[in-house]
Amino acid sequence: MTRAKGPDRFVSARIGVPDLDASVAFYQTYVGLELVKNEGDRAFLRAGLPHHALELVHRPGIPKAEVAAITFATGKRDVLENRRESVAKLGYDVRPLSEGTAAYCADGFAVTGPNGLEWEFVHGYYEYVEPPFLVSTPDRIMHPFVRTDDYGATLQLATDGFGLQISDYVEDAMTFLRCEDRYHHSLALLKGSEFRIQHFSFIVADFDHLMRARARAQSHGITIKTDLVKHSGSTTIAFYLLEEAHGPEIELSYGHRRFSEEDHETAEPRRLASGARTEFDLWRESDSDWRGLH
């Protein structure tokens, strides 16, 4: 029996920001995104070929940035229609796309997830024929990391609804899910006592690009929330920026693990024991490393 396909990739996010021009400057300077268009009340910035990785919406008066939507994309119309049907079967109200997303794709739908976050699924997402001509720019937006107090329903929407496949479980508290592009995760879900988007991840070309971006942030006094870490699941090396006026934490990383075509179709999810190294950083010191040596 042929597996029902999911989206090819995570492609963009929509974020409300209190100062649009300041947020555009932040993402250009410290994340390396290219401004596609600034319409006055919203702006679009890209990484790689897709039309935009971020849609920033001007919302004066809010105390800090608020994530409004996440968007997944497929290049196949039959996948879109199958997923539209799957989401409806779960009882979600399937609605038209937002104006900012609909303008840059052939078709798609939106649903409101368990915590009020908008989930969009699109077909025929517009793209450019070449990446931005910038000295330092990410190759792509990779994933959102979602902390949720409605973990089970969110996981069901991601798998049974949107068709993502599970790469790893960390006990019953965290799940990493992948799209058809086979990268280890295009979505991470964490069980928590509240809902928030923990971070968005961007992938850079190599370690030198990563370290140049880190040096730029340090020299300009941008908050590095978490410095260099190595993740166990994706095998990426990363650091995290945080400026709450512009959005959640931004992970810049390189070296994201990719499944083989065979493993993508046949591998069972790993079930990992929890722990600081499993969940976040392989380089983190653990007391167990030094037992018997003191």
The tens digit of pLDDT for each residue in 127-159 reads: 999 999 888 899 999 999 999 999 999 999 999
What pLDDT is attached to residue 158?
A: 98
Cβ atoms within 10 Å, residue 188: 24
Residue 77: its H or E element = helix 77-89
Please provide residue 84's backbone torsions phi and psi, each rounded to the nearest 5 degrees: -60, -45
In a domain, 284, yes or no: no
Can you tell me the distance from the alpha carbon of 226 to that of 228, in angstroms, rounded to the nearest whole number?
A: 7
Tokens of 67: 């994530």
Q: Compute the distance between CA of residue 203 and CA of residue 256 in angstroms, rounded to an integer.
A: 8
Please check whether residue 294 lies inside any domain of the structure.
no
In a domain? residue 173? yes
Q: How much of the chain exceeds pLDDT 70, in percent?
A: 95
2 to 120, 223, 234, 288: CA distances (angstroms): 24, 47, 27, 45
In total, how many domains does the chain have? 1
Give the model's pLDDT for residue 292.
Answer: 47
Domain harbouring 234, CATH code: 3.10.180.10
Tell me whether residue 1 is in a domain. Answer: no
Mark 35-58 as b/e (b = at least 16 C-beta within 10 Å): bbeeeeebbbbbbbebbbbbbbbb
Cα separation, 159 vs 60, in Å, equals: 36
DSSP state for residue 159 in the 8-state scheme: I
* 289 assigned to some structural domain: no
Could you tell me if residue 292 is inside a domain? no
**Contact partners, residue 67, CB within 8 Å, separation at least 6:** 13, 14, 15, 16, 117, 144, 197, 247, 248
Q: What is the pLDDT of residue 273?
A: 86
- Would 2 be classed as within a structural domain? no
Residue 174: domain span? 9-129+136-279
The tokens describing 116, both together, are: 């009020």
Whole-structure pTM value: 0.94
Question: Residue 189 pLDDT more than 80?
Answer: yes
Examine residue 72 and state whether it is found in any structural domain, yes or no.
yes
Q: In terms of DSSP bridges, do strands 237-241 and 249-254 run parallel, antiparallel, or are they unpaired?
A: antiparallel
| 117, pLDDT greater than 90 | yes
Residue at 40: amino acid letter: G
Higher pLDDT, 203 or 290: 203
Read off the pLDDT of residues 1-51 as tens digits, 9 standing for 90 and up.
688 999 999 999 999 999 999 999 999 999 999 999 999 999 999 999 999
Is residue 216 predicted with pLDDT exceeding 80? yes
